[in-house]
Chains A and B, each alone.
Chain A
Amino acid sequence: MPVTEGTKGRNAQSDIRASEIMAAAGARELHDGEVVVVGLGLPEVASVLAKRTHAPRLATLLEVGVMNPRPKDTPVGLPDSRSFYRATCWSGFLDVMGMNLHRGVVDVGFLGALEVDQYGNINTTLVKDESGKIRYVNGSAGGNDVASLAKRVIVIMRHEKRKLPLAVAHLTSPGFVGGRSRQELNLRGGGPSRVITDMAVLGFDANTHVMSVLSLHPGVRVEELVENTGFPLLIPNDIPTTPLPSTEELRLLREEIDPKGAHLK
């Protein structure tokens, strides 16, 4: 990685970690009263943070059939009892992914990804090394369903050139495939709206559907961002700086939401 420790790990100007900026940026994308299907890890951390601050009426759904959990003790996965502690509903795929997501009432799908390309297409199925050798990983699970059907999709991931290629090695979950509109693609959901990385908050151009820069995290230079991205980003002349998490957001993240630092490394 060509990026200095200062910007990638801990923020140069303070003691705030990039992962904490990501979690707070993710939380700010979630609005009070919305319905969100969340994956484990940073999406879950960000949704809990939103709920504990500006969005107390956010409905958080897990694909296994869980609503509004208060996760504790760092779950290892969605079916870990720790992830569905004190939920308001336990049901199943058919309820969460069928009668909510497929029904069209889920505002936000909040996902992690192995690779995301310039049109927001997501790969979670396989990686190809330089010789073309394929290694399989986890596959879709609910990822394709969420990306197809949620009104908008937020992806949160580490910013590395190989994770942000021009085209994904396997198109597991569609964004704006080939730059086409979601209607043309026969998809009901609105598609990707944000990609939040440890360097920037990215969005998508309304006409070309190509990924664009919305804000850079404090201390990150635009040259670094370009160097670490595998396709040409749309870069505005004036790029705002991503706001740092507030003192209260940091306290919640560090003391209550992820005290062991399992996700906020």
Chain B
Amino acid sequence: MVDKVKSVSEVVRTIPSGSHIALGGFAIARNLIAVVHELIRQQKRDLTVSQGVVGLETDLLVGAGLVGRLIMGGGSLDRFGPAHCVNRARETKSLQCEDYTSLSVCFRYLAGALGLSFIPIKSLFASEILERLEAGPGASDVKRSRCPFTGEEYVLLRALTPDVSFVHVQIADRDGNCQINGPRWGNEEQAKAGRRLVVVAEEIVPTEFIQRSPERTIIPGHRVEAVIHQPFGALPTTVFGCYDYDADHLRLYVKHAEEPERFKEYLNAFVFGCRDHWEYLEKLGGLRRLEKLRAEPISGY
């Protein structure tokens, strides 16, 4: 059997510039930091990014100038601040951004995951979100129509089928069977909508461990193309049951992201200045820092 366990640089090399990638983080939780750093190091350009609620990962990619089109439900870095790079790119019109909502992005992934070409929704009506989509480049993805049975009016949303979906999970086996602990936001729909699916796992476990609680398997191995094993792969964002967010580093990031020049300094120090995620973890403070952030077993953070 082909081994699915691959390095992040190996996987990112297979992603052409111009791809549509879907990212599985939410604000400051389970962000694909190791993947995003490598996309930046390998300078994968003109990406389309889709995400339910964006966070640090998408802010990094947009700030690095690699995203041409963003399809999102909104987002921020929670109490640490706004997604400065995303917001600035919108203000300077250097990014084509299509605003949706948490549920409408989730529904678009769900349609993709079910092999449907569209899905009806009752959100978005009477809002500027819908008006702007209809007036802009997103117009071909939304349409008002009626139910053929009841006549009720709906917004129809085109399915989303990203070229590659990325999800960060707590555990996976070598075949890609994944278990996610804690709330999963839109991960299942987003993962299964992808034409290709890559997971980053904090821990790789024997299949026998998965077999002990198969009801917790959210993504089955046969759907997964590659498993990247990267402990602390989401830092400075949090992974429930594994580690807390690094509040100091998130504050440092927000301070740099406020200004384009300072953001470049951040990228030079923490992305271009690190050969891989292990070097980045050293830069964050190494084992001493990681030990401080490691979750305690009752609270999970």
Contacts and interface: CB of A to CB of B under 8 A. Distances in A.
B126 A186 contact: yes
A85 interface: yes
A77 interface: yes
- Mostly, the B contact residues are loop
A81 B30 CA distance: 11
Contacts of B270: none
B132 to A, nearest CB: 9
B128 A64 contact: no
B28 A185 contact: no
A125 B187 CA distance: 24
Given A81-B238, A174-B126, A188-B122, A141 B75 contact: yes
B183 A125 contact: no
B74 A92 contact: no
Interface in B48-101: 52-53, 72-76, 78-80, 82-83, 86-87, 90-91, 99-101
A148 B123 contact: yes
Contacts of A139: 72-75, 99
Given A77-B28, A82-B301, A136-B90, A94 B121 contact: no
A174 to B, nearest CB: 4
B102 A140 contact: yes
A236 to B, nearest CB: 28
A93 B74 contact: no
Contacts of A188: 122
A76 B153 contact: no
A79 B27 contact: yes
A79 B29 contact: yes
Nearest to B186: A93
B179 interface: no
Nearest to A138: B76
Contacts of B185: 63-65, 79, 92-93
B174 to A, nearest CB: 26
Interface stretch (A15-23, A95-103, A151-159, A198-206): A95-103
B22 interface: no
Contacts of B166: none
B128 A138 contact: no
A188 B106 CA distance: 19
B99 A91 contact: no
B297 interface: no
Interface residues of A, number: 52
Interface in B242-300: 244-245, 247, 295, 299-300
A139 B87 CA distance: 10
Contacts of B122: 102, 148-149, 186-188
A137 interface: yes
A145 B102 contact: yes
A170 B128 contact: yes
Given A64-B185, A81-B240, A142-B101, A172 B299 contact: no
Contact of B186 (A84, A94, A136, A173): A94
Interface in B97-150: 99-104, 106-107, 110, 121-129
Contact of B125 (A135, A142, A187): A187
Contacts of A144: 101, 123-124, 127, 129
Interface in A110-158: 124-125, 134-145, 148-149
A172 B128 contact: yes
A228 B83 CA distance: 30
Contact of A93 (B75, B102, B125, B182): B102
Interface in B171-191: 181-189
A231 interface: no
Contacts of A185: 125-126
Contacts of B100: 140
Given A77-B78, A139-B75, A172-B129, A91 B101 contact: no
A177 interface: yes
B232 interface: no
Given A79-B27, A81-B300, A141 B128 contact: no
A81 B182 contact: yes
- Identify the 7 closest CB pairs spanning chains A and B, nearest first: A139-B74, A77-B78, A79-B29, A65-B183, A81-B301, A76-B79, A174-B126
Interface of B: 26-30, 52-53, 72-76, 78-80, 82-83, 86-87, 90-91, 99-104, 106-107, 110, 121-129, 153, 181-189, 238, 240-241, 244-245, 247, 295, 299-301
Interface of A: 40, 62-66, 72-73, 76-82, 84-85, 90-94, 97-98, 101-102, 124-125, 134-145, 148-149, 170-174, 177, 185-188
Given A84-B182, A142-B103, 14 more contacts: A63-B185, A73-B299, A76-B245, A79-B28, A80-B245, A81-B240, A90-B181, A101-B103, A136-B90, A141-B74, A141-B75, A149-B123, A173-B127, A187-B126
